[in-house]
Structure 1
């Protein structure tokens, strides 16, 4: 009889790690049971910044009971019988450690760079000088969106009854309205009746009836989102697998 297939034994454990100085530090780390304690500390140093020589490790079980101190760097980690879900608590013994003082977690403790108004004014091309050159006027984008004729030129190529496709999503439908829209932002709008219930209303928007369509088939979109052309209704079964 053929021998049974021998499966490899998992010699690692997943351990929850916390830190004495870093209150928000919490990590799940997998350790080999064959690695010695020094190798475990080296792996933790790369994650939290505490030096191996300044690191003391405490092992806790899943009931929060302390099991042991990992004082012997030469012993394999498996000697302490850790299991998945146990916790290693790092104690940083160095008072000058990068983890001390809380500044790694609290950015308000980090000294901010400041520049005096006099020094800032001496800088060439600073934002303050740029803003003064522009003066108290709106940007082109802001001005156009408040213009009553915003997108009028695009809307002139769209007429009621046109089949269309609307972005995003390539939603197909028919044009039901073109023009300005009371209650909406300035400029021109296009009312769409989608072929499917992909809209938000039935043509009634903020108390104004712009067109009629079935519930949840209507939408008001900007003209630049609409492409008119020969866009037939999609076959609802064309994407089904046979």
Structure 2
């Protein structure tokens, strides 16, 4: 039964992505604010329908960042993007360049000021990313980066990449870490959506000025520790051995 409910939920979610994307496109063309409003409306729809269709509630914890800050977030599935975007006043994401060609999603991402990054050739990609971020500074907002570079399942570990520190150093802004447990309920692959409480939690900001090693160590420790605590709270016990020591049991 849960699988059938999940299938129906997924179908309507992607259907509404197309319908809302087309219906709100004149607003998105008219202004960036219009594009932001359209995207937030869709995010609210997904969170609302997830609650009653598959029993998956969502919650935002911690002080929601305001103004010009860098947000470095744990990424486990599409749902953490939905929650983060609906929570932040004016989010814009560092994203894979390939997503620009995705119907509806790519057009809106470009309109709200997301920064596409090409994979491979890390040095050139980082340099281009910094230049694109600098060019987009005229559009104020919260820049969101996923420091592990991709979605990471709850039972896997990937190291944190240098790109988040490059932006942190270049922008000279506080960095707000964000933890999550969404992958327990909404896996990176597959149809099934499990009932429960999916949480994104904004943590204490990291002040500007830390060295690369200090910043990356601090970021990884606080995000992984809190994410694992949230996953344990959700009943998930299959944590990766590589950083199980971070969890306070």
Do they superpose with TM above 0.5?
A: no
TM value normalised by structure 2: 0.21
Structure 1 or 2: larger strand share? Answer: 1
Structure 1 or 2: larger helix share? Answer: 2
Higher relative contact order (CA 8 A, sep 6+): 2
Q: Which has the larger radius of gyration?
A: 1
